[in-house]
Chain A
């Protein structure tokens, strides 16, 4: 890797492990996760519930609360490790440099303040406006995210807005300080499909206009296919496959990725879907060896012994699966060994 490419990396997560303390046990929710996001690109982080994708986002923002704990790893943002930054510095990063958009706009907004107040507060805290200019700036921001009649809407309370408008207001707030990176955690999951389409179009448009880097967290492969340049697929706390979006959809290599794509409705109507058997193992009940092995149609001898490490295919394409190579993961084992109890099949 040349220095030039390294510099291009806005965010680089290295060997991140985050988990929860419970009765003197450490239950890992994110295990040895590494990925990077370059300026202006969209990385899709896909996974089902319990895969660790939201905990990854919270770890980057250092918003993991006890009993949760970041146990290991680095989060390099513009080559500074966010995990070792003093809290005061970190507060400048949050919202100022990296913005987080949540799934549920109703709970992310404060119901007793107008959306104008809330956007202005963000601007004032980060010193991006004065009391006199804040209102005007807030109106401009609402206009940027295509809220109709922003002069009027700025005085509305969250409950007076529809779900789609609330999400737009939230995006306006996150853009207030002109961040370089936006982390969007299921930004459209709570919305209807036509509204979802509008919000995705908006995000894509803003990204191009402002040169934003976007870390898009979703469970929906359709959303990923539309939005992402690269994709990282998470399963039970690990990134099991990473690839450019066309490579991933054209030639999925991990059996979980393949299973996920095959289980989507489509193909000949009325045909049985190719479901993945079983369910995601609950936190702290990871099976020994590969976490996906108990559900995997392709498992063979090495799978239950140790979790596979990354096998690399060309630039930026990795997969954790013994089908593609003998690489064994280098994670210190006590982490997973502590969690060896049965699986939910």
Chain B
């Protein structure tokens, strides 16, 4: 059984155009389906407006999807009561993109990491404190800095704090929404290494939301490429990067600047008329390589 199953997920936002005009409906996520197996890293790639972040948030019901089904460990997340949802969220956590705005600047970092333990009432104070120190150690931070404030840490360290908070309740699924895109390259590599180490040690499953294709290629087992709310191509990372089948995927891959001055660059421009937006995913290669062509 897959750890996470998303089926026909739709999220519509209504937008008021003006005082006297009718509200218009935008489909940010338009019938997205995928499954994530336990222990794998599933990449959700796309440009701004592709619906990747909205998809991530709908999975956790941080925003309520308009329709569709999300199954976590076989159970329908949509049908959960508030109490049950709270319980389920111990097991599925999110790491946000911006390490500057996602930590409360007025709380000490030790308290930030302890907060989920307090909310979920796990054991006495002394036990929680010991767990926080352990978590700090786990993400490579010095437990002697627990009583400092977020502004006293660098961007990379803050992202480690966010990660420690997400790991506090020992989740099995982590939705990482652009976890390193606000960081410098050299620091980015540290955090990526940490994410890979933690996955092995704690048997974590990641849904990795990103726009950086080089990064996705490096750490994801499988990838789904999103374009205007839909998955246009999905498959094992190696196959998808080696033989992209959808025009959008090809354009996206050809746009990555390569760190090699002699690389032959053949930019493929996307012609939106070259494919059918309504096409559904079909098999284009082995091992579940699908594309909407």
Contacts and interface: CB of A to CB of B under 8 A. Distances in A.
A111 interface: no
Interface stretch (B11-19, B117-125, B249-257): B249-257
A263 interface: yes
Given A225-B258, A270-B196, A197 B48 contact: no
Given A225-B257, A245-B261, A261-B259, A194 B196 contact: no
Contacts of A193: 47, 211, 213, 252, 255-256
B186 A260 contact: yes
Contacts of A245: 261
B218 A269 contact: yes
Contacts of B154: 279, 344
Interface in B174-193: 184-190, 192-193
A265 B218 contact: yes
A213 B212 CA distance: 29
Contacts of B192: 265, 273, 275
B217 A226 contact: no
Interface string B189-204: 1101100110000000
A275 B197 CA distance: 14
B64 to A, nearest CB: 27
Contacts of A263: 185-186, 188-189
Contacts of B262: 246
B214 interface: yes
Interface stretch (A165-173, A178-186, A216-224): A216-224
Interface string A239-251: 0000001100100
A81 interface: no
B237 A269 contact: yes
A48 interface: yes
A192 interface: yes
A274 B255 contact: no
Given A192-B48, A263-B186, A263-B188, A225 B238 contact: no
A277 B156 CA distance: 11
Given A225-B261, A279-B154, A259 B186 contact: yes
A220 B257 contact: yes
A279 B188 CA distance: 11
B282 interface: no
B263 A194 contact: no
A197 B267 contact: yes
B196 A272 contact: yes
Contacts of A48: 184-187
Contacts of A246: 261-262
Nearest to B182: A49
Contacts of A223: 257
Nearest to A163: B48
A264 interface: yes
Interface string B252-281: 101111111111010100100000000000
Contact of A272 (B47, B184, B193, B260): B193
Interface of A: 48-49, 163, 192-197, 200-201, 219-226, 245-246, 249, 259-261, 263-267, 269-277, 279-280, 344
Interface of B: 47-48, 154, 156-157, 184-190, 192-193, 196-197, 211-215, 217-219, 237-238, 251-252, 254-263, 265, 267, 270
